[in-house]
Amino acid sequence: MALFGTDGVRGLANGSLTADLALTLAQATAVVLGQGRTAEARRAAGRRLTAVVARDPRISGHFLSAAVEAGLASSGVDVLDAGTIPTPAAAFLVADVDADFGVMISASHNPAPDNGIKIFARGGVKLPDVVEQRIEAALDRPKLQPTGGDVGRIRRFADAEDRYVVHLLGSLPHRLDGLHVVLDCANGAASGVSPETFKDAGAKVTVIGADPDGLNINDGVGSTHLDTLAATVVAVGADLGIAHDGDADRCLAVDASGTVVDGDQIMAILAIAMKSRGELVDDTLVATVMSNLGLHRAMDAAGIRLLQTAVGDRYVLEAMNEGGYSLGGEQSGHVIMSRFATTGDGVLTGLHLAAEMARRRKTLAELASVMTVYPQVLLNVPDVDRDRASTDEGVLAAVAAAEAALGDSGRVLLRPSGTEPVVRVMVEAVSSAEAQRVADELAAVVRERLAL
């Protein structure tokens, strides 16, 4: 089984993800990312290899980051320990200080017992598959073992958070004066930096989910639990609410009435705003095949091309990098603004969403109305042969019939899951009842045709 998943190495902390694995993975990373012309040029110029290491507030992050730093320093890499900061902050800092690579200890929106290790290459970019494969292969090979003064130094990255906040504030097209924002920080990595940045940008801020104790990350709060945020926004009469996940690479929102504004709607708002300023490269937005039909229609009406990718922010990033595009993301709230970030950044996204409200002097509900959200039903069909989902004639015929029946008023997507032993059936239609009926019919065909 491959060690790396769709977003780094993830597992139960001190279960599958041990201190030994973290240390060895760090040593293998030093071997692989310490090679190449750039690394050799640095050594020739008398510069040591440097890595930024950060974590979210999970209690297991302490021993895992210690193991990673030990592995790097024992391989001759100098470590800048940035402490508890968001994943996008770590990526930004790798580029900002011209480090050779970076390591983030986080399991994102997963519960506290889990943790993960994400690795960024020079420039703060995620590793391509081929480099992850090289690192995995290097786990069982000889490691770098410098001695004496050649071992790495570990020192605190004292101004890490300040650098990130200055960067975020410098990206804003408009201040947030006059806006009242409720921030749900998921008891995670955004708990310090997000409230500070929104206040510095001029907003009045009410904060929830910003008391991390190492065990309560994502526990009933954050982007996967929006009820408390919605209730708080209504109770305090705020203009909007912003929800992050544990490592703050996501952003979802609620308007003044407590209605959820998802990642598709946020992308629609930002795409139109960026096009109006001439900042949307080739008038193109990149999103996955799971994005709502309403996003397709809103972008078409705005004269914006919607380029679709496979599910996963890494595929969105790949398409953005290949085409040089400036905006992309997922319905889940991973939004990538490539002018300012190399990965999804929930704080950056929330700031720019609020800035558009302030700039246009419109409510979030008014801005979000540019997109009609079509009812969407997603069913997971277990115990079937995933490999035949895209080739079985009966399944393909059923999908074609459903698409013909829905016409322009709906959409069908059937695909094998890349992470679970299921086939996913997604249907969008003008009504929830119609979407549910079509999805149930397709799921029944999948169960019958692909049964194991």
* E strand or H helix that includes residue 420: none
Sheet containing 180-184: order of strands? 204-208, 180-184, 240-243, 252-255, 260-261
Cβ-contact 287, 371 below 8 angstroms: no
What is the distance between the alpha carbons of residues 64 and 160, in angstroms, rounded to a whole number? 20
- Residue 110 is classified by DSSP as S
- Residue 283 is classified by DSSP as G
Which tokens belong to 233?
């926004």
Angle at 259 between CA 253 and CA 265, to 5 degrees: 50
Which residue from 294, 285, 284, 237 is spatially nearest to 261, judged by alpha carbons?
294
In the block, residue with structure tokens 């999804």: 344
**Residue 422 Cα to chain centre, angstroms:** 23
What would the 3-class secondary structure string for 347-410 be?
HHHHHHHHHHHHHHCCCHHHHHCCCCCCCEEEEEEECECHHHCCCCHHHHHHHHHHHHHHHHHC
Residue from 65, 75, 106, 108 carrying the catalytic annotation: 108
Which tokens belong to 315?
């595929």
Query: Is 177 known to sit in a ligand binding site?
Result: no
108 catalytic, yes or no? yes
Query: Is 249 known to sit in a ligand binding site?
Result: yes
Query: Is 108 known to sit in a ligand binding site?
Result: yes
Which tokens belong to 262?
């998802």
- Residue 343 is classified by DSSP as S
Binding site listing for Mg(2+): 108, 245, 247, 249
Which residues are catalytic, by number? 108
Binding site listing: 108, 245, 247, 249
